[in-house]
Chains A and B, each alone.
Chain A
Amino acid sequence: MTAAACCLFFVSVSMGIKMWKLKRDISSFTDRLLRCLNDMTCGRELERLNEEGDTLWDKVYEKLQKLERIWKRESAENLEEKKKIKSLISDISHQTKTPIANIKLYEEVLLDEGLGTAEAGEFLQKVRIQTEKLDFLLQSMVKMSRLETGVIEVCCMKLPLCGTLLRAVAAIVPKAEKKQIRLSVDCDEDIVVNHDTKWTEEAVFNLLDNAVKYTGRGGSVGILVSVQEIFTKISIRDSGKGIALERQAEIFTRFYREPEVYDQEGIGVGLYLARKIIALQDGYIQVCSEIRKGSDFQIYLPNG
């Protein structure tokens, strides 16, 4: 009898201790969790704890850390992007002042009635050059605005790739003609890819624009499409000056300009935008290039 009572007593005591421990563990777990959440909501750094163990807390803490890192990285990226966009916008708006002032000046001259036809034609030509400059600057502004996160929203549809490519090529024809660059497109009309026509056209155009810019007079730019097991490859090959190996990854970063063409028009977002557009469609861009042998930009879009 007494033995049974003793037993019961011990069991209940050990149960009590266990319950007490459990309660303590739960409350310390919630305490720590709340402390961490408080830190995060106030934007403070998470307190550094050791999380290499295998307890429930270690797992939760590891995820909290991951979340903290993602937040931090995103806010840092946004800040950096904003700064750069701000300075570029102020730069571009500043640059628009000169052509406008010039146009005003030529306009005044033109309004002066004592001008001969030949002279007037010359000034009109000058006005046109300035207008083109303005047009370029405004287009750059539009491109910049697309860098703002969330502006590019792709809407993919199963459509023939050929149409998209031809529209992009049509847009580059005037520039290519000026430099007497031969354009060619080799794409099977039956190739259907699940893609966003508007944005893909922009990406292809940016690559073509780039190819024309870096290809000398009388060169060639060609598009070749081939279907692989998983991806459809759009290869844009030019006979331009090529890109040094160590620069090949850098060219896709924002605001990158080849050092030797700083005087040429451009703001350095074309390739960056192209890469972003293709990545949003779960594809990727790759470049193969050799100095003086031209470049081959390849867009890979998933089949189907």
Chain B
Amino acid sequence: MESYIVETRALKKYYQLGTNVVKALDGVDFRVKDQEFVSIIGKSGSGKSTLLHMIGGLDVPTEGETYVDGKNLAEMNREQLAVFRRRKIGFIFQNYNLVPDLNLYENVTLPIELDGDCVDREFIDEILNLLKLQEKKEALPSTLSGGQQQRAAIARAIASKPSIILADEPTGNLDTASSHDVLGLLKAVAGRFKQTVVLITHDQDIAQLSDRIVHIEDGRIVRGSDAYVGE
């Protein structure tokens, strides 16, 4: 039987908005294979971010189940979820969320130190090298360009060697050329360290980089729901 690193079963998320019920997710069956690079593409309000939040354990579904790495997220308490997010998932957001008072290197190693793990310096250097940030190690985030800040955020997400990287419109604040470069690096680095990536975007050109594109509309997957058979 095929095993998936991410699997959602009939996932639903309804919000009560006044007298209306908003269906952010309406029965989503979504599967991702280990080491796959999947893009979820859809307009704003289509439910793509909600889906990502469910996979990352940042939100609780109204109905349905989410399995990540074989674990049912619904069975975890808050504390377990926090540990799960810290160890298994690397997040990349649109607003890089770097700590302004820490330099680039400290920002990258922060999640590892928070987990009480020892920092694998050789690994961090390798990542920074790949992401072309080696010379900016000591720089404060405010002195970096947008592309560099997002690359630093990618380095931070990868540094703790998570099983999955979840990226929510990571290039929303970048121009087209930098966007392509930054995501190219994400693809190259994730491939190198055998990581799974789920990327959210509204840009077809960016989605083109991935192994598979999933289209979501009005809380439902309309195309590309299943992983390819074969490789």
Q: Which residues of A contact B (CB under 8 A)?
A: 52-54, 58-59, 62, 66, 69-70, 73, 228-231, 245-246, 248-250, 253-254, 256, 279, 282-284, 286-288, 300, 302
Q: Is the CB of B208 within 8 A of A286?
A: yes
Interface residues in B, total, Cβ within 8 A: 39
Q: Is the CB of B178 within 8 A of A249?
A: no
Cα A172 to Cα B87 with chains together (Å): 49
Q: Is the CB of A246 within 8 A of B224?
A: yes
B84 at the interface (CB under 8 A from A): yes
Cα A230 to Cα B129 with chains together (Å): 12
Cα A288 to Cα B206 with chains together (Å): 11
Q: Is the CB of A253 within 8 A of B185?
A: no
Q: Is the CB of B83 within 8 A of A253?
A: no
What are 8 contact pairs spanning A and B, CB under 8 A? Answer: A53-B80, A230-B181, A249-B212, A250-B230, A279-B191, A283-B184, A284-B187, A287-B208
Residues of chain B with a CB closer than 8 A to A54's CB: 79, 83
Q: Is the CB of B132 within 8 A of A230?
A: yes
Cα A286 to Cα B115 with chains together (Å): 36
Assess A59 versus B116: contact at CB under 8 Å? Given A246-B224, A286-B208.
yes
| B189 CB, nearest partner CB in chain A, Å | 8
Q: Is the CB of A230 within 8 A of B184?
A: yes
Cα A54 to Cα B84 with chains together (Å): 10
B180 at the interface (CB under 8 A from A): yes
Residues of chain A with a CB closer than 8 A to B10's CB: none
Q: Is the CB of A73 within 8 A of B34?
A: yes
Cα A302 to Cα B129 with chains together (Å): 11
B107 at the interface (CB under 8 A from A): no
Q: Which residues of B contact A (CB under 8 A)?
A: 34, 71, 76, 79-81, 83-84, 87, 115-117, 130, 132, 147, 161, 163, 177-178, 180-181, 184-185, 187-188, 191-192, 194, 205, 208-213, 224, 228, 230-231
Q: Is the CB of A249 within 8 A of B211?
A: yes
Q: Is the CB of A229 within 8 A of B147?
A: yes
| B138 CB, nearest partner CB in chain A, Å | 20
Q: Is the CB of B181 within 8 A of A250?
A: no
Residues of chain B with a CB closer than 8 A to A302's CB: 132, 188
Find B184's partner among A66, A250, A300 (CB 8 Å cutoff): A300
Q: Is the CB of B178 within 8 A of A229?
A: yes
Q: Is the CB of A288 within 8 A of B208?
A: yes
Cα A57 to Cα B147 with chains together (Å): 39
Q: Is the CB of B185 within 8 A of A230?
A: yes
Residue of A nearest to B147 (CB): A229
Cα A253 to Cα B212 with chains together (Å): 12
| B153 CB, nearest partner CB in chain A, Å | 15
| A135 CB, nearest partner CB in chain B, Å | 29
Cα A251 to Cα B231 with chains together (Å): 11
Cα A254 to Cα B229 with chains together (Å): 12
| B120 CB, nearest partner CB in chain A, Å | 11
Find B177's partner among A229, A248, A287 (CB 8 Å cutoff): A229
Q: Is the CB of B209 within 8 A of A286?
A: yes
Q: Is the CB of A282 within 8 A of B177?
A: no
Assess A284 versus B80: contact at CB under 8 Å? Given A228-B181, A229-B147, A249-B210.
no
Residues of chain A with a CB closer than 8 A to B130's CB: 282
Cα A246 to Cα B229 with chains together (Å): 13
Q: Is the CB of A249 within 8 A of B228?
A: yes
